Chains A and B, each alone.
Chain A
């Protein structure tokens, strides 16, 4: 049964890598990769007649993303429990960084709208950290599901017994 779980997780991770690719693409297409383009996306630009975001527009994006980021972070991070070759400390750092940077990414849009363009850098940094941590989790899981089936745990790392009845 464990072998089948490896395949299921590998398939899921593969599809989520594509998902990450679409996120990067959409960020580049909609917001752009420069502080000026991110600022004009949120606040508008008189020179190019670009219209800024409204509160409703931001909420419409934030609500589904809060659910999807939390769900994806939870699913992927909980799979890390089953990877004995990664230390608990690393799991904790990546597992926390992933959803927190995602939350900061969403919040930064509101900060730009309400508190000014100074938060453009928070938006950019949080998005990059979010995507990097997302990629690191996916990479660890892909490697573990394809290459490390049955690998003994690292010294000092005790695999936990997960049971539905516990």
Chain B
């Protein structure tokens, strides 16, 4: 694959505004996703186990495979999209290459843990609830930090000279 990277993104005012609005919305998504997770699965290992495996005392029915796969299907569209757009902008920040690689790999692993954790708890072993908890919070925190860094970058002063075309 071949890419051509040029100047500081912030020289383009329109692109800057677009990205600021986009990442502000993404912050809202990340915040509301915590509440969605709370209602859907719970945020602690015991709540996760009760919601996925069912709990007769709390009148909670176990979730079936099709329901879980439907929820995973939606998350596997949303999470990678949020991750891709954030990392693609994060690449433009002045930070070490190693940090960027770690950000990419860790957010991917967190998504896999979050998605896989649901199926592991339900069909393999309840103790894997910890994987799901770490995966979900790892994704949320890593994304939150990356979005904040990107917003800081977009609000900062552009460096160098703008490129003139034509």
Question: Which residues 78-116 in B have Cβ within 8 Å of A in the complex?
Answer: 79-81, 83-84, 87-88, 91-92, 97, 100-101, 104-105, 107-108, 111-112, 115
If the complex has contacts A9-B1, A18-B115, A159-B2, are A75 and B73 also in contact, measured as CB distance less than 8 A? no
Binding site for A on B (CB under 8 A): 1-7, 9, 11-12, 15, 65-66, 69-70, 72-74, 76-77, 79-81, 83-84, 87-88, 91-92, 97, 100-101, 104-105, 107-108, 111-112, 115, 162-163, 165
Pairwise interchain contact B163-A22, C-beta atoms closer than 8 A:
no
In the complex, what distance in Å separates the CA atom of A137 from the CA atom of B88? 19
In the complex, what distance in Å separates the CA atom of A64 from the CA atom of B87? 24
Additional A-B contacts beyond A3-B97, A18-B76 (4; CB < 8 A): A9-B1, A15-B79, A84-B2, A165-B11
Distance (Å) between the CB of A164 and the closest chain B CB?
5
Give the dominant DSSP class at B's interface: helix
Give the dominant DSSP class at A's interface: helix
In the complex, how many residue pairs between chain A and chain B have their CB atoms under 8 Å apart?
112
Pairwise interchain contact A23-B73, C-beta atoms closer than 8 A:
yes
* B101 cross-chain contacts in A, Cβ below 8 A: 4, 7
If the complex has contacts A12-B83, A26-B66, A82-B1, are A164 and B108 also in contact, measured as CB distance less than 8 A? no
* A7 cross-chain contacts in B, Cβ below 8 A: 101, 104-105
* A144 cross-chain contacts in B, Cβ below 8 A: 1
Pairwise interchain contact A19-B77, C-beta atoms closer than 8 A:
yes
If the complex has contacts A30-B66, A75-B81, A75-B84, are A8 and B73 also in contact, measured as CB distance less than 8 A? no
15 interchain pairs, CB-CB under 8 A:
A5-B3, A5-B88, A6-B1, A9-B84, A12-B80, A18-B115, A19-B76, A19-B77, A72-B77, A75-B84, A82-B3, A162-B4, A163-B4, A164-B9, A166-B165
Binding site for B on A (CB under 8 A): 1-9, 11-12, 14-16, 18-19, 22-23, 25-26, 29-30, 64, 68, 71-72, 75, 79, 82-84, 144-145, 148-151, 153, 159, 161-166
In this complex, which of A2, A15, A163 has the most chain B Cβ atoms within 10 angstroms of its Cβ?
Answer: A15
* A72 cross-chain contacts in B, Cβ below 8 A: 77
- Chain A residue with the shortest CB-CB distance to B72: A22
In the complex, what distance in Å separates the CA atom of A6 from the CA atom of B100? 12
If the complex has contacts A1-B5, A8-B84, are A15 and B69 also in contact, measured as CB distance less than 8 A? no
If the complex has contacts A29-B66, A30-B66, are A163 and B6 also in contact, measured as CB distance less than 8 A? yes
Pairwise interchain contact A11-B9, C-beta atoms closer than 8 A:
no
In the complex, what distance in Å separates the CA atom of A29 from the CA atom of B17? 43
